[in-house]
Amino acid sequence: MKRMTDRAEIVIIGGGIVGCSVLYGLVRSNRTDCLLLERRNLASGSTWHAAGNVTRFGHHTGLTRLYADSITTYLEAERESGQGIGFHSTGSLRLATTPGELARYHALAADFRRLGIEYRVLEPLELEPLHPLLCTDGLFGAAHTPGDGHLDPTGATHALATVARASGARIRTRCPALSLAPASDGWEVETASGTIRCRQVVIASSFWARQFVRPLGISLPLFALEHHEIITGPSERIGQLDFELPTVRDPHAPSNIRQEGSGFLCGVYESDPVPWATNGIPEHFAEELLEPDIGRLEPHLLRVIERIPAFGEAGIRAVNNGPICYTPDGLPLLGPVRSRPGLWLATGFSIGIGTGGGAGRFLARWIADGQPPYDLPITDPGRFPDGLDADTCLRRIIRTYANGYALAAPDD
């Protein structure tokens, strides 16, 4: 094949929901000379098998903005592209299983008011009409965010990409970035068909990013873990309802449970999660799921059944196990690599559907304006000490994942 040199102002590496969202944000900020490279197909990483849950509930103002902006961004992209994103506006309930959780939910109310997000803290008795299948025994209440729901992550990715393309940005699929090197006026990205010269590069390649930037002497604090979701058969109890149930996040299980058709879909946070491909992502890994291990989920599922007995009656239809990217505090790496001018990160997303739309908008504004649109130190890539060793990084990742829906301390 003839090798050629191409140019773009900004190259984005990775065409999952996050990379496409950065691309969409850039064209919305009038930066259209952008080229996105995707090694396989758009959404073929973790995005295609995600449950698609999106919430506006964050424990920190900046994070809540990312969440809220994500839903807004996907709906905007749907309107502009005509590509459906399948948003189900069901609302969600975050259960208070201890008095401490309830107190935190009350303390967060001022934040939501300031951001104009509908939010209420409910008594156990108020939950029954919203979720008649929920057993409220032992509950202290729940936080209710009515604008939440779930959507089709692949549809949302394509909606973002369609608008970006129509605005002049380019997307090249089946085109892995092979390496990256600094050049006199920016960066050179090597691909099988040639070199691409650019001023700025955004790494949006999730758990692939760790090995990709290692040759530059950068050690990213992220790894992949196995993450399970269970889909049940039809539930008779759901069949009797004339509305869709809200998503439930239960810190005691810990798990999220929502309606999927006439059954349930449940994502489980294991207490002893299993890391995946810590020595490097297999070269040919693509659009694949991992071997499920339902035995490991049993203690969690028993708690889910206690909370929603109908879940236990519906019978398991499918168990999906997919790799999920994690950083030591569970939050993404979003911003510049300060020691390498022109190199940006939008990676490390474990709730990439929930935060991707807002994160793309945030990073694009930062790139286009030279400063972030608002302060977001909790996702700044520089928040981890340089040279955090792999063992410590993985240990913290495992602890964070296992904590599930436990809220970080107020000043975290």
Ligand X SMILES: Cc1cc2nc3c(=O)[nH]c(=O)nc-3n(C[C@H](O)[C@H](O)[C@H](O)COP(=O)(O)OP(=O)(O)OC[C@H]3O[C@@H](n4cnc5c(N)ncnc54)[C@H](O)[C@@H]3O)c2cc1C
Q: Which residues bind ligand X (CB under 6 A)?
A: 13-19, 37-40, 44-47, 49-53, 176-177, 204-206, 208, 212, 227, 229, 267, 320, 322, 324, 349-354, 356
Interhelix angle 153-166/352-369, nearest 10 degrees: 20
Closest CA to 218 of 397, 341, 386: 386
Identity of the residue, 257 or 394, whose beta carbon is nearer to ligand X in the bound complex: 257
Q: How far apart are CA 42 and CA 379, in angstroms?
A: 25
Of 76 and 121, the one with the shorter C-beta distance to ligand X is 76
Amino acid sitting at position 317: R
Which residues, in sequence order, are CB contacts of 86 under 8 Å at separation 6+? 52, 151, 152, 155
| Spatial distance between the Cα atoms of 143 and 135, rounded to a whole number of angstroms | 16
Closest CB 11 distance from ligand X, rounded Å = 10
Please report how close the Cβ of residue 39 comes to ligand X at its closest, in angstroms: 4
Angle 409-115-122 from CA coordinates, rounded to 5°: 65
Provide the minimum distance between the beta carbon of 129 and ligand X in the complex, in angstroms, as a whole number. 25
In residues, how long is the chain? 412
Specify the residue, 24 or 212, whose C-beta has the smaller distance to ligand X: 212
Shortest CB 128 distance to ligand X, Å: 25
Q: Rounded to the nearest whole angstrom, what is the least distance from the CB of residue 332 to ligand X in the complex?
A: 8
Region label for 387, one of left (φ > 0), alpha (ψ between -120 and 50) or beta (otherwise): left
CB of 46 to ligand X, least distance (A): 4
Smaller CB distance to ligand X: residue 141 or 145?
145
Closer residue to ligand X (CB): 66 or 127: 66
> 314 or 353, CB closer to ligand X?
353
The least CB distance from residue 280 to ligand X, in Å, is 12
CA dihedral 146, 152, 155, 156 (to 10 degrees): 40
Residue 188: CB minimum distance to ligand X, A: 14
* C-alpha triplet 342, 45, 50: angle, nearest 5°: 115
Strands 194-203 and 263-268: unpaired
Taking the least distance from each CB to ligand X, the nearer of 142 and 151 is 151
Secondary structure of the chain: what % helix, strand, coil (to 5)? 35, 25, 40
What are the distances in angstroms from CA 71 to CA 83, 121, 258?
15, 21, 18
The number of beta carbons lying within 10 Å of the beta carbon of residue 166 is: 11
Choose between 179 and 339: whose C-beta lies nearer to ligand X. 179
The most distant pair of C-alpha atoms in the chain lies apart, rounded to whole Å, by 69
